[in-house]
Chain A
Amino acid sequence: NAGVTQTPKFRVLKTGQSMTLLCAQDMNHEYMYWYRQDPGMGLRLIHYSVGEGTTAKGEVPDGYNVSRLKKQNFLLGLESAAPSQTSVYFCASRSGNEQFFGPGTRLTVL
């Protein structure tokens, strides 16, 4: 099993550009999450999904959209990137009480 994978690993955007981050899991987990981690800080929940076709807002949802069209994929979109969205983005899926994390996507917005 590959576990949780994220693409891309790195990306540099200009202010106003859009992009989509892809998270995929092959563990048949219902719950999936998107977090952002800023330097020296913990993870802040952006959006999450409790199953295919459902999404919900987390702590810091503004400026992001998500979709869960397929159970194994959870997409995070930035419609108009801003420098404040420079961060490392982590995706996770959940089985029971344990979360399994992807390796992260480092995004820089200039």
Chain B
Amino acid sequence: SQQGEEDPQALSIQEGENATMNCSYKTSINNLQWYRQNSGRGLVHLILIRSNEREKHSGRLRVTLDTSKKSSSLLITASRAADTASYFCATDSSASKIIFGSGTRLSIRP
């Protein structure tokens, strides 16, 4: 079974609104990452948060991590049409393997 599970599975918001996606995982981790996948493309790395960090920012992205609840959230502020994509969390509980969640499909309405 997959390590991470994203919630919601699909999200549709108006351009300019904020989008929040959540990820829950099962085992202890070293760090957690978020990736974006545009339709028909490979995944692109967005941001990484280490297990000893609680919050991290990168441009319009804000990631939080709660290791006690084994959960993370990704916030995209002031959404744009180009943010339409699927977003995946990924965890590495071992040094070599990175396991992905099932993803959130984000649609931005103009």
Residue numbers of A with Cβ under 8 A of B are: 4, 31, 33, 35, 40-45, 48, 50, 56, 58-59, 90, 92, 94, 97-104
Contact = CB atoms under 8 A, between A and B. Distances in A.
A97 B99 contact: no
A44 B88 CA distance: 12
Contacts of B60: none
> A42, A45, A97 — which one has the most chain B CB atoms within 10 A of its CB?
A42
Interface stretch (B43-51, B62-70, B73-81): B43-51
A97 B31 contact: yes
Contact of B43 (A41, A43, A59, A94): A43
Contacts of A94: 98
Contacts of A50: 96
A12 to B, nearest CB: 17
Nearest to A96: B48
Interface string B1-16: 0101010010000000
Given A41-B103, A42-B2, A44-B2, A102 B42 contact: yes
B27 to A, nearest CB: 13
A101 B44 contact: yes
B72 to A, nearest CB: 15
Q: Which 5 A-B pairs have the closest CB atoms?
A: A101-B42, A43-B100, A42-B100, A42-B102, A98-B45
B96 A56 contact: yes
